Structure 1
Amino acid sequence: MGVAVILSVSFLLFTAGLMMASAAFASGEQTMAQEGPCAGLVRPRDFVYLGAFRLPGGDIRPKTFMYGGSAMTFNPDGDPSGPADGFPGSLFIMGHDRLPYGELPNGNQVAEISIPVPVVSKNLGGLNRAGFLQRFQNVTRGRFKGMDELPRVGMQYLNTRATGPKIHIGWGQHLEPDTSPATHAWFDPNLREPNFQGTWFIGNRSFYSVNGYMLDIPSTWAKKHTGGRVLGTGRFRDGGWSGMGPALFAYRPWSGSHGTPAAPGAHLKEKVLLLYENSMNTSKIRNCLKGYQHPDEWEGAAWITTSTGKSAVLFAGTKSVGTKYWYGFVNPAGPNLPCVAEDLVGQFDVCRMADGTPCPKADLTECKGHNDYRGWWTTRFEARFILYDPAGLARVAAGEIKSWKPQPYASVGIDRHLFLNPEGVEPAMLGTGVQRRYRIGDIAYDRANDLLYVLELFADSAKPVVHVWRVR
Structure 2
Amino acid sequence: MNTFSWSASIAVFLFICCAPLHATRWLLVDFGKDSASTTFGTEYPTWNQLLAPAGAQYADPDGDTAHWGISTRSFAGVKGATPITFKRGHKVVATFYNTSGSSVSAGPRISFTDQDSCSQTETFDTPWYGMYWEQNGYTGRSIPGHQTGEIHFNIADSAWLLAYLQVPSVGDHYCVAIARWNVALVLTKIELTDEVDSIAPEAPANLQAAMISLSQGSGNCGIQLTWDEAIDLPGGDAYTAGISRYFIYRNGEFYACLNGYWLNYWRKYPPLRYRDMSVAPNTHYTYEVTGVDRAVNGMYVTHYSTSRMGNESPAAMVEITTPSFSTGNLINPYDEIAYQGAFKLPSGGTNYRSWNYAYEGLAYFPDGNPGYDDALELPGSLYGIGHPYSMNVSEVNIPLPVVSSTLSLLPRATALKPFTDALGLIFGAGVIHANSFTGMEYHPGHDAIGEGIYVGSCGTDYSPPSSFAGHGAFNLDMTQGYGPWYIGAMPGDSGKISPALSSKVIFPAPQDWADSMTNGRSLILGRTRVSGVGEPCAGPNLYAVAPWESGSLAADSTALLATRMLSYAPMPDTGMRWIVNFNMITGFSGGAWLSSNGKSAIAIVGKRSIGEDWYGTDGGILQSGAWGNDLDWPRTQCGPCGSKGPHSTGEKKCMYLYNPEDLNKVINGQMQPWDPQPYMIWDITDRLYRNQGGDIAFDRERGYLYAIEENGEGVNGPSLVHVWKVASETTAADKTRETALAEAVMQVFPNPFNPSMAIKIAHRDPGAVNAEVKIYNVHGKLVQKLKATGHQLATGITWDASNLPSGTYILRAELGGNVYTKQAVLLQ
TM-score band, normalised by shorter chain? 0.7 to 0.9
Equivalent residue number for residue 236 of structure 1: 528
Distance 1:386 1:141 in 2: 32
Q: Secondary structure at the match of 2:711?
A: strand
Equivalent residue number for residue 379 of structure 2: 88
- 2:630 is aligned with 1:367: yes
Kept in 2, the 8 Å contact 1:170–1:183? The answer is: yes
- 2:497 is aligned with 1:205: yes
Kept in 2, the 8 Å contact 1:183–1:199? The answer is: yes
Residue 651 (structure 2) aligned to one of 381, 394, 403: 381
Distance 1:236 1:179 in 2: 17
Kept in 1, the 8 Å contact 2:450–2:552? The answer is: no
Equivalent residue number for residue 18 of structure 2: none
Equivalent residue number for residue 456 of structure 2: 170
Could you give the per-residue CA deviations for residues 205-255 of structure 1, whole angstroms, max 9, x where no partner exists? 133111012000101111111110010011122347441011111001123
Residue 114 (structure 1) aligned to one of 384, 397, 408: 397
Distance 1:185 1:446 in 2: 22
Distance 1:23 1:202 in 2: 45
Kept in 2, the 8 Å contact 1:325–1:338? The answer is: no
- 2:710 is aligned with 1:457: yes
Q: Which has the larger radius of gyration?
A: 2
Residue 61 of structure 1 and its aligned partner are, at CA, apart by 2.6
Residue 24 of structure 1 and its aligned partner are, at CA, apart by 13
Compared with structure 1, are the counterparts of its residues 290 and 137 closer, same or farther at alpha carbon in structure 2 (3 Å cutoff)?
A: same
- 2:555 is aligned with 1:300: no
Residue 179 of structure 1 and its aligned partner are, at CA, apart by 4.2
Equivalent residue number for residue 421 of structure 2: 138
Kept in 2, the 8 Å contact 1:216–1:232? The answer is: yes
Kept in 1, the 8 Å contact 2:450–2:547? The answer is: no
Equivalent residue number for residue 433 of structure 2: 148
Distance 2:465 2:511 in 1: 37
Kept in 1, the 8 Å contact 2:663–2:676? The answer is: yes
Kept in 2, the 8 Å contact 1:70–1:152? The answer is: yes
Distance 2:557 2:685 in 1: 41
Equivalent residue number for residue 4 of structure 1: none
Q: How does 1:424-435 map to 2 (within 5 A)?
A: none
Equivalent residue number for residue 365 of structure 2: 75
Distance 1:147 1:343 in 2: 30
- 2:477 is aligned with 1:190: yes
Distance 2:279 2:412 in 1: 29
Could you give the per-residue CA deviations for residues 348-395 of structure 1, whole angstroms, max 9, x where no partner exists? xxxxxxxxxxxxxxxxx8421453621111122111111000000111
- 2:316 is aligned with 1:316: no
Equivalent residue number for residue 724 of structure 2: 469
Distance 1:396 1:40 in 2: 19
Residue 56 of structure 1 and its aligned partner are, at CA, apart by 1.0
Residue 91 of structure 1 and its aligned partner are, at CA, apart by 0.4
Residue 418 (structure 1) aligned to one of 665, 688, 695: 688
Compared with structure 1, are the counterparts of its residues 23 and 165 closer, same or farther at alpha carbon in structure 2 (3 Å cutoff)?
A: farther
Kept in 1, the 8 Å contact 2:423–2:432? The answer is: no
Amino acid at match of 2:514: A
Distance 2:625 2:352 in 1: 37
TM-score (norm 1): 0.78
Amino acid at match of 1:463: P
Between 372-381 and 229-238, report the one with greater CA deviation: 372-381
- 2:573 is aligned with 1:286: no
Kept in 1, the 8 Å contact 2:521–2:549? The answer is: no
- 2:666 is aligned with 1:408: no
Q: How does 1:7-22 map to 2 (within 5 A)?
A: 22=250
- 2:339 is aligned with 1:42: no
Distance 2:252 2:471 in 1: 39
Distance 1:208 1:340 in 2: 26
Distance 1:260 1:164 in 2: 7
Distance 1:340 1:229 in 2: 45
Kept in 2, the 8 Å contact 1:234–1:249? The answer is: yes
Q: Secondary structure at the match of 1:261?
A: coil
Distance 2:517 2:393 in 1: 32
Distance 1:460 1:207 in 2: 31
Q: Secondary structure at the match of 1:380?
A: strand
Compared with structure 1, are the counterparts of its residues 180 and 338 closer, same or farther at alpha carbon in structure 2 (3 Å cutoff)?
A: farther
Compared with structure 1, are the counterparts of its residues 253 and 125 closer, same or farther at alpha carbon in structure 2 (3 Å cutoff)?
A: same
Residue 442 (structure 2) aligned to one of 137, 141, 157: 157
RMSD: 2.7
Amino acid at match of 1:47: I
Residue 177 of structure 1 and its aligned partner are, at CA, apart by 3.6
Compared with structure 1, are the counterparts of its residues 464 and 238 closer, same or farther at alpha carbon in structure 2 (3 Å cutoff)?
A: farther
Could you give the per-residue CA deviations for residues 146-182 of structure 1, whole angstroms, max 9, x where no partner exists? 4414211111111133315311111113212444300
Identity among equivalent pairs (%): 29
Distance 1:149 1:117 in 2: 31
Residue 329 of structure 1 and its aligned partner are, at CA, apart by 1.8
Kept in 1, the 8 Å contact 2:391–2:434? The answer is: no
Equivalent residue number for residue 699 of structure 2: 446
Distance 2:485 2:455 in 1: 10
